[in-house]
Amino acid sequence: MKLMHVLAVAILSLGLAACSKPTKPDEATAGPAESGAATSGVGVDAGAGTATQLTPQQQALAAIQQKNIVYFDFDSSEIRSEFVPVVASHAQYLVKYPTARVRLEGHTDERGSREYNIGLGERRAQTVRRALLAQGVTESQITTVSYGEERPAVEGSDEAAYAQNRRVELVHAQ
Amino acid sequence: MESTPATLKSRATAALLALAFLLAAMPGHAQLRLDITQGVRDAVPIAVVPFGGQAEGGASDIAAVVANDLRMSGRFAPLERRDMVTRPTSGAEIRFEDWRLLKSDFIVVGRVEPDGAGLAVNFELHNVRTGASLLAQRLPSTEKGLRATAHRIADLVFERLTGIPGAFSTRIAYVAVDGKPPAQRYRLIVADADGFNPRTVLESREPIMSPAWSPDGQNLAYVSFEGKVSAVYVQSLATGQRSRVSARAGINGAPAWSPDGRRLALTLSRDGNLDIYTLELATQTLTRVTSDDAIDTEAEWSKDGQSLYFTSDRAGNAQVYRVRLDEARKAERVTFTNGYNARPRMSPDGKQLALVTLDRGGYRIGVMDLASRNLRVLTNARQDESPSFAPNGAMVIYATREGGRGSLAIASSDGAFQQRLSSDQGDVRDPAWQPFAVSR
C-alpha cells in the first residue's frame, strides 16, 4: 500500500515535472541556473564540501532543493497548481528517506498586523505540511515555524516584493 | 548664497558638535529624529526661555527639552528662541508686555543652581496675559539627570495647563532592524519618550517582536526567535535578568499583561491552529480561552481584567472580538466598520481601543470608542500598525513606513496632530509605550 503510494507520487511528480515551467519568482532563491534536469544537483553544495562522491540521498536532496519555495497569493494559503510538483518532489524524497527531516518556514508580506501575520504564515506552513502528510510523509519528519512578516526574502513595498515574500520555505536538515 | 566662509565654518563646527553630541548620546544605536508631519492650528503658544546657569544647546539644555516635549504633544507651539528678546530666569525678571507682543500665552523660566553635591532646578510657569504665577518649584537634580528633570518639568507644565498628566518622563520600547535580508540583526531598544537615550536590551540574529510592558513599567515581555522557534520571554529592565515563560511546541506569541501583572495573555498553537491562552506567571498555570479553527491572536485585557479583546478571522477576515474570562467564554464581535480590524490596544481609561484598520485601501490606525462603537481613523498612510497608547491617553505611538523604511510615529488621540520618530539607520517598528508607574 505504502509502496504503491510512493510509486504513485513518483510517477505523478515525474509527469508534472516534465511539463512544469520555471516558476516566476524564483530569482529570490538565488540558486545556480536551473536546467530542470534532475541530475544538475551534483556539485551544488549539499554539505559534502570536498570531491568525495555524494551519496544517493545527498544527490536527491540537492536536486529537490533547487526548488524549495512555495509562493502564495495575497491572503491565501492555497498551494497554487504550479507548486504542486515542488511539494510532491519533497514528499517523494522524505518518503524515500524516512530519517530525513524538513522544516517548513511560513512567511507573509508586510501588510497588516504583525502577530496576525504570524498566524497567516503558520496557516501556509500547515497547508504544505498537510500536503506532505497526504503523500506519505510521517508527522515526525516535519516541523513548522511561522515568521510572519519578520523575515522577508526581499526588501520592498511593491507587489513584486510582496509576491516573493508570501512563501513557505522547505528547509531540510543538514 | 549669503553664507560667508565664517558662517559656513561655524555651521560646520555646529554640525560637528551636533555629531559628537549624537555619538555621545547613543551607545551603539542611532538616535530617533523627531519631525512634525501634521500640526494643529490651535496649538497654545508658549515661551520656554533658556534656563540660567547652563549653556544653551547642549544635550541637557532644559528649556530645549521642555519645549520639544510640549511641541511633541501637539497641544503647544513653543516660541522660537531667535524671537526671544530677553532671557529672564525667574518670575521677577519677566517683563510680561514683551511676551504679550510676541503673542505667547504662557511662559516658562528657570535656572540651574549648585545644591550641595548635586544640582537644583528652579522653574516657574506664568500666564503672560495676567502675569499670574501658575507653578513655581525647585527640583533636585544632578548633571546626568538634567534631561530627566526637564521631562518632569514638561510633565508638570503640561498637567497644569491641560489637566492631563504629562507622559514625557516615560519610555518607549521598540524593535530596530538593520542589515539586508536574510542577514538581518534585530534589537529590542528602550528609549525616552522623545527618542533620546536609546538602550539596547536584547540583540539577536533572529526576529524579536511584540514587546509589552508590565503594568508597573519594570518588565518587558516579548517574542524572540533566538532558538529558531518563537518563545515568550520576560525581562527585567533594572537587572537585565530574563526568563523564558513560554516555549511550547508551535507558536508562542502576542504577550499581553493582565492589569494586575500576574498573568500574560498569549497566543499558542496546536497543529497550526492559533488560540488565546492565559498564563499565570507564578504557577505557570495555562488556561485556554478560545478554541476554534480561525486565527485568534493579539489579545488585550480589559481594564477590569475580566475579559480579553483579540483579533480573529473566524468570520472570514480579521476583526476584533471580546471574550469574557468566565466559564462560558463566549466571544462577541466588536468591530464592524471596515473589512480588516486587528491588534486592539486599550486606552489607559479603558474606554477606547486603538487598532489597525483597513481604511480606503490603507492599513491605518483607528481609535474606537467602546461605548458608541464609533471608529475614528487617526492616520493616513498605507502601512500603519502596532498602535500603543501613551499612559495619559493623549497620544498613540505606532509604526509606519516611509521611503521603504520602517519608522515610528505619534498621533494625538484626536488625530489632529502627527509626528514621526525616524531612525537614520534601518527599520524601527513594534513600539510600546511604558505605562505610568503604579505609585502615581
Chain A touched by B342 (CB under 8 Å): yes
Does the pLDDT at position B4 exceed 70?
no
B434, with CB counted inside 10 A (0-12, 13-18, 19+), is buried
- For the segment B362-377, the average pLDDT, to the nearest whole number, is 96
Chain A touched by B225 (CB under 8 Å): yes
* pLDDT number for residue B435: 97
How far apart are the CA of B364 and the nearest CA of chain A, in angstroms?
9
Instruction: Report the residue of chain B nearest A122, measured CA to CA.
Output: B272
With beta carbons under 8 A apart, name residues in chain A contacting B271.
126
- For the segment A126-138, the average pLDDT, to the nearest whole number, is 98
Confidence of residue A32 (pLDDT cuts 50, 70, 90): very low
Q: Report the candidate in B408, B381, B385, B412 with the shortest Cα–Cα distance to residue B396.
A: B412
Mean pLDDT of the residues in chain B: 90
Confidence of residue A156 (pLDDT cuts 50, 70, 90): confident
Whether residue B209 and residue A115 make contact (CB cut-off 8 A), yes or no, is yes
Confidence of residue B147 (pLDDT cuts 50, 70, 90): very high
Q: Which residue has the higher pLDDT, A101 or A9?
A: A101
Sheet with B208-213, edge to edge strand ranges = B208-213, B219-224, B231-236, B242-246
Closest partner residue to A113 (CB to CB) among B225, B311, B382 is B311
Sequence-separated (6 or more) residues with CB below 8 Å from residue A122:
A106, A144, A146, B250, B251, B269, B272, B274
Sequence-separated (6 or more) residues with CB below 8 Å from residue A162:
A74, A109, A110, A111, A156
Chain A touched by B385 (CB under 8 Å): yes
Give me the residue label for grid cell 516658562.
B108
Whether residue B383 and residue A110 make contact (CB cut-off 8 A), yes or no, is yes
* Interface with chain B: mutation pick from A104, A114, A142, highest number of B CBs within 10 Å: A114
Tell me which CATH homologous superfamily contains domain A2-20+57-172.
OmpA-like domain (3.30.1330.60)
Mean pLDDT of the residues in chain A: 79
Sequence-separated (6 or more) residues with CB below 8 Å from residue A134:
none
Chain A touched by B271 (CB under 8 Å): yes
How far apart are the CA of B362 and the nearest CA of chain A, in angstroms?
9
With beta carbons under 8 A apart, name residues in chain A contacting B310.
none
Closest partner residue to B269 (CB to CB) among A122, A154, A157 is A122
Q: Which residue has the higher pLDDT, B404 or B293?
A: B293
CB B196 within 8 A of CB B147: yes
CB A145 within 8 A of CB B201: no
Whether residue B184 and residue A151 make contact (CB cut-off 8 A), yes or no, is yes
Output the DSSP codes for chain A.
-HHHHHHHHHHHHHHHHHHPPPPGGGGGG--SPP---GGGGTTS-SS--SSSPPPHHHHHHHHHTTS-EEE--TT--PPPGGGHHHHHHHHHHHHHSTT--EEEEEE--S-S-HHHHHHHHHHHHHHHHHHHHHTT--GGGEEEEEEETSS-SS--SSHHHHHHHSEEEEEE--
With beta carbons under 8 A apart, name residues in chain A contacting B256.
none
Does the pLDDT at position B402 exceed 70?
yes
CB B149 within 8 A of CB B141: yes
Closest partner residue to A123 (CB to CB) among B225, B272, B298 is B272
With beta carbons under 8 A apart, name residues in chain A contacting B267.
115, 118-119
Residues from A contacting B (CB-CB < 8 Å) are 110-116, 118-120, 122-123, 125-126, 129, 144-148, 150-157
Chain A touched by B5 (CB under 8 Å): no
Whether residue A157 and residue B254 make contact (CB cut-off 8 A), yes or no, is no
CB B242 within 8 A of CB B235: yes
| ipTM score for this prediction | 0.88
Chain A touched by B184 (CB under 8 Å): yes
DSSP-derived letter for residue B403 is T
* pLDDT number for residue B272: 84
- Alpha carbon distances (Å) from B201 to A14, B53, B169, B219: 52, 35, 19, 11
Give chain B's domains with CATH numbers: 30-162 (3.40.50.10070), 171-433 (2.120.10.30)
Does the pLDDT at position B7 exceed 70?
no
Whether residue B272 and residue A126 make contact (CB cut-off 8 A), yes or no, is yes
Confidence of residue B30 (pLDDT cuts 50, 70, 90): low
Does the pLDDT at position A15 exceed 80?
no
Does the pLDDT at position B53 exceed 60?
yes
Confidence of residue A105 (pLDDT cuts 50, 70, 90): very high
B370, with CB counted inside 10 A (0-12, 13-18, 19+), is middle
Confidence of residue A50 (pLDDT cuts 50, 70, 90): low
Closest partner residue to A114 (CB to CB) among B209, B271, B401 is B209
CB B310 within 8 A of CB B323: yes
Whether residue B318 and residue A112 make contact (CB cut-off 8 A), yes or no, is yes
Sequence-separated (6 or more) residues with CB below 8 Å from residue B287:
B277, B278, B279, B280
Closest partner residue to A122 (CB to CB) among B251, B343, B386 is B251
Whether residue A116 and residue B209 make contact (CB cut-off 8 A), yes or no, is no
Does the pLDDT at position A41 exceed 60?
no
* Interface with chain B: mutation pick from A111, A116, A171, highest number of B CBs within 10 Å: A116
Instruction: Report the residue of chain B nearest A142, measured CA to CA.
Output: B271
Kindly report, residue by residue over B190-233, the tens digit of the pLDDT: 999 999 999 999 999 999 999 999 999 999 999 999 999 999 99
Sequence-separated (6 or more) residues with CB below 8 Å from residue B135:
B123, B124, B125, B156, B157, B160
Is the pTM higher than 0.80? The answer reads: yes
Confidence of residue B425 (pLDDT cuts 50, 70, 90): confident
Q: Which range (A5-19, B127-141, B148-162) has the least confidence?
A: A5-19
CA distance A69 to B54: 61
Q: Which residue has the higher pLDDT, B256 or B34?
A: B256
Q: For chain B, give the percent of residues with pLDDT over 90.
A: 80
Q: Which range (A40-49, B70-79, B252-261) has the least confidence?
A: A40-49
Q: Which residue has the higher pLDDT, A37 or B215?
A: B215
Kindly report, residue by residue over B86-132, the tens digit of the pLDDT: 999 999 999 999 999 999 999 999 999 999 999 999 999 999 999 99
- Phi and psi, residue A18, nearest 5°: -65, -35
Q: Which range (A33-37, B86-90, B175-179) has the least confidence?
A: A33-37
Confidence of residue B422 (pLDDT cuts 50, 70, 90): confident
Kindly report, residue by residue over B296-331, the tens digit of the pLDDT: 999 999 999 999 999 999 999 999 999 999 988 999
- Phi and psi, residue B275, nearest 5°: -135, 165
CA distance B291 to B276: 8
Does the pLDDT at position A12 exceed 70?
no
- Alpha carbon distances (Å) from B26 to A80, B261, B394, B405, B423: 48, 31, 28, 20, 12
Confidence of residue B36 (pLDDT cuts 50, 70, 90): low
* pLDDT number for residue B438: 60
Chain A touched by B362 (CB under 8 Å): no
Closest partner residue to B404 (CB to CB) among A113, A120, A156 is A156
Does the pLDDT at position B18 exceed 50?
no
Does the pLDDT at position B26 exceed 70?
no
Confidence of residue B336 (pLDDT cuts 50, 70, 90): very high
